[in-house]
C-alpha cells in the first residue's frame, strides 16, 4: 500500500492513550479528539503526550464534533480519521470522515455492525446465522414483540454495549423487571427481542485490511447467565476443535463481508448452538475485558500495535498462540467494603500479569448488573485451560473482602454498561 505524506497524518476520535502512543511508534503524526467530561485530566495528559495536538469537544454535540473533525482535517492535511473508542460517538465522526474522503470504512458498514437490530436484519436478509427476532421502538412495543416469540427470549437495547439493559424474559415478571430497569437507566430504544441462544459463548477478534478479514483469536467466555449475562471469566485461546474453529471463522468473516467492512478491528460475539454458530452482536473496535492483553499474553501479539502497522501498509499476520491466558472478574456482594486482604499475596504470584482492584475500605461496592459494575479482575498465564481455571480460582480464594452487605432492593441499581 503506497502511503503519501498526508496518509501518515492521522486524526483519532476518542483514542485511548496507548493507541496514540502506538500510532506514533508506527510512524504516524496523530491529532486526537476527546470529550473532557469522559476522562480525568491526568488521562488526557497521557493522550496529549504522544499527539501533535489534543482537541476537546462535547461528543454529545454532533454538529460541533463534525465541524471540529472537518476543520482539523483541512488545517493539517490529514489523510485518515479513525474512531476505535465507544460506539456512541462513532456515527457523526464516521459520517464526516466519509464526506471528507478520509474514512477507511463506509459509515454504513460500521453502522450495520454496531447496531444490533441492523446487524440482525442484515444477517436475516442473507440467511446467515438465522435467529428469530423482532425489533421494537419502545418498551411497550418490546412487550408486544415478546408476546410474538416463543419464550424464553432475550431483550436488549440495539445500540448499547457492555451488557447494559440485557435480560432473559421467561415470564411477565421478568418483562416488568426489565422495563423498570431500562427506564431507570435511560436506555432508550430501539430494542431487539430475539430467541435465547443456548451453547458456549465465544468472542472472535478480527483485523481487516482492504476488505480482507483475518481472525486474530477466539476467546471462550463465561457469564453469570440470566438475568444480566455479565462476563465472569475468559480463556484465550478458546479450547476448540478444528471444525468448530472453522465454523466460527466462516460465520464472522461472512458477517464482515456482508456489512462491507474494509479496515480495522472488530469484536464479534458468537454462541455455538446445537444448530451451528449464531452471532450475538459485533462492534467495530477491539474487545473489552482485557482481551487484547490475553492475546498478547498467549501469543506475544500486540493487536493494538497491529492496527497501525496495518494502516501503514504492513500485511496482517495472525499469531499462533503458545500459552493460555485468562481473565477472572471479581463479583463481590454489594455493600460497604469494611476490609480487604490478600492483594499483596496475589501480586506476588509468578503467573499473575495484572491485578485490578479499585476499591478501598469504606467504599461502596455496587451490585453487579453489567460489566461496568464488576469489582475488578486478575489476568493470569497458564499452559492449559484447566490450569488457567485453577489459577483464577486460587486468586479468588486469596482475595478476602469483608463487605457489609446492602439491603436488597426490588430493582438492582448501579452503573450499567
CATH number, domain at 262?
3.30.470.20
Nearest to 395 by CA among 358, 333, 343, 323: 343
403 in Cβ contact with 363 (< 8 Å)? no
Number of other residues whose CB lies within 10 A of the CB of residue 6: 13
316 and 299 inside one domain: yes
Query: What domain count does the chain have?
Result: 4
DSSP 173-218: HHHHHHHHHHHHHT--S-EEEEEPPPS-EEEEEEEEETTEEEEEEE
387 and 307 inside one domain: no
Residue 200 has pLDDT above 80, yes or no: yes
Would 117 be classed as within a structural domain? Answer: no
As given in the structure block, the three cell numbers for residue 79 are 489523510
CATH number of the structural domain spanning residue 142: 3.30.1490.20
Would you state the pLDDT for residue 411?
41
Q: Determine which of 183-192, 245-254, 351-360 has the lowest per-residue pLDDT on average.
A: 183-192
282 and 205 inside one domain: yes
Would 361 be classed as within a structural domain? Answer: yes
274 and 330 inside one domain: no
Would 298 be classed as within a structural domain? Answer: yes
Would 407 be classed as within a structural domain? Answer: yes
Would 118 be classed as within a structural domain? Answer: no
Would you state the pLDDT for residue 409?
47
218 and 315 inside one domain: yes
Q: Determine which of 266-270, 322-326, 368-372 has the lowest per-residue pLDDT on average.
A: 368-372
Report the length, in residues, of the chain. 417
Q: What is the pLDDT of residues 48-70, one digit of tens each?
A: 999 999 999 999 999 999 999 99
Q: What is the pLDDT of residues 239-284, one digit of tens each?
A: 999 999 999 999 999 999 999 999 999 999 999 999 999 999 999 9
**Parallel/antiparallel/unpaired status of strands 9-13 and 80-83:** parallel
Would you state the pLDDT for residue 4?
65
282 and 361 inside one domain: no
Among 271, 292, 321, residue at a domain's last position:
321
Would 108 be classed as within a structural domain? Answer: no
Beta bridge partners of 276: 273
Would 112 be classed as within a structural domain? Answer: no
**Parallel/antiparallel/unpaired status of strands 29-34 and 9-13:** parallel
Look up the domain containing 139 and give its range.
132-195
Show the CA angle centred on residue 352, arms to residues 348 and 357, nearest 5°: 85
Q: Determine which of 54-63, 72-81, 219-228 has the lowest per-residue pLDDT on average.
A: 219-228
Would you state the pLDDT for residue 41?
97
Amino acid at each position: 500500500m503506497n502511503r503519501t505524506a498526508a496518509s501518515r497524518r492521522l486524526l483519532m476520535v476518542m483514542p485511548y492513550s496507548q493507541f496514540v502512543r502506538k500510532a506514533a511508534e508506527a510512524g504516524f503524526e496523530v491529532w486526537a479528539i476527546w470529550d473532557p467530561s469522559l476522562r480525568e485530566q491526568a488521562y488526557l495528559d497521557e493522550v496529549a503526550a504522544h499527539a501533535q495536538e489534543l482537541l476537546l469537544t462535547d461528543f454529545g454535540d454532533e454538529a460541533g464534533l463534525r465541524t471540529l473533525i472537518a476543520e482539523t482535517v483541512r488545517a493539517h492535511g490529514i489523510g485518515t480519521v479513525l474512531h476505535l473508542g465507544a460506539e456512541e460517538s462513532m456515527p457523526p465522526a464516521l459520517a464526516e470522515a466519509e464526506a471528507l474522503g478520509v474514512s477507511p470504512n463506509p459509515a454504513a458498514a460500521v453502522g450495520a455492525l454496531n447496531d444490533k437490530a441492523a446487524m440482525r436484519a442484515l444477517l436475516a436478509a442473507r440467511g446467515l446465522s438465522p435467529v428469530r427476532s423482532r425489533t421494537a421502538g419502545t418498551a411497550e412495543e418490546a412487550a408486544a414483540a415478546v408476546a410474538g416469540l416463543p419464550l424464553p427470549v432475550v431483550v436488549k437495547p440495539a445500540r448499547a454495549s457492555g451488557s447494559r439493559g440485557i435480560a432473559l424474559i421467561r415470564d411477565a415478571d421478568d418483562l416488568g423487571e426489565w422495563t423498570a430497569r431500562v427506564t431507570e437507566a435511560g436506555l432508550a430504544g430501539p430494542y431487539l427481542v430475539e430467541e435465547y441462544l443456548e451453547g458456549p459463548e465465544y468472542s472472535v477478534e478480527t483485523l481487516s485490511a482492504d476488505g480482507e478479514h483475518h481472525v486474530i483469536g477466539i476467546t471462550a467466555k463465561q457469564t453469570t447467565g440470566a438475568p444480566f449475562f455479565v462476563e465472569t471469566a475468559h480463556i484465550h485461546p478458546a479450547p476448540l476443535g478444528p471444525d468448530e474453529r472453522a465454523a466460527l471463522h466462516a460465520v464472522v468473516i461472512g458477517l464482515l463481508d456482508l456489512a462491507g467492512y474494509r479496515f480495522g478491528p472488530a469484536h464479534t460475539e458468537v454462541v455455538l448452538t446445537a444448530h451451528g454458530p449464531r452471532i450475538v452482536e459485533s462492534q467495530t473496535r477491539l474487545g473489552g475485558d482485557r482481551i487484547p492483553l490475553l492475546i498478547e499474553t498467549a501469543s506475544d501479539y500486540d493487536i493494538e500495535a497491529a492496527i497501525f502497522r496495518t494502516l501503514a501498509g504492513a500485511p496482517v499476520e495472525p499469531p499462533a498462540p503458545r500459552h493460555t491466558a485468562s481473565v477472572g472478574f471479581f463479583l463481590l456482594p454489594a455493600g460497604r467494603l469494611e476490609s480487604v486482604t490478600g492483594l499483596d499475596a496475589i501480586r506476588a504470584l509468578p503467573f499473575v500479569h495484572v491485578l485490578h482492584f479499585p476499591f478501598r475500605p469504606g467504599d461502596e461496592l455496587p451490585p453487579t448488573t453489567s460489566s461496568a459494575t464488576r469489582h475488578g479482575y486478575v489476568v493470569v498465564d497458564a499452559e492449559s485451560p484447566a490450569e488457567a481455571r485453577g489459577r483464577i480460582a486460587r486468586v479468588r480464594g486469596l482475595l478476602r473482602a469483608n463487605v457489609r452487605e446492602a439491603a436488597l432492593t426490588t430493582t438492582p441499581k448501579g452503573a450499567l454498561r
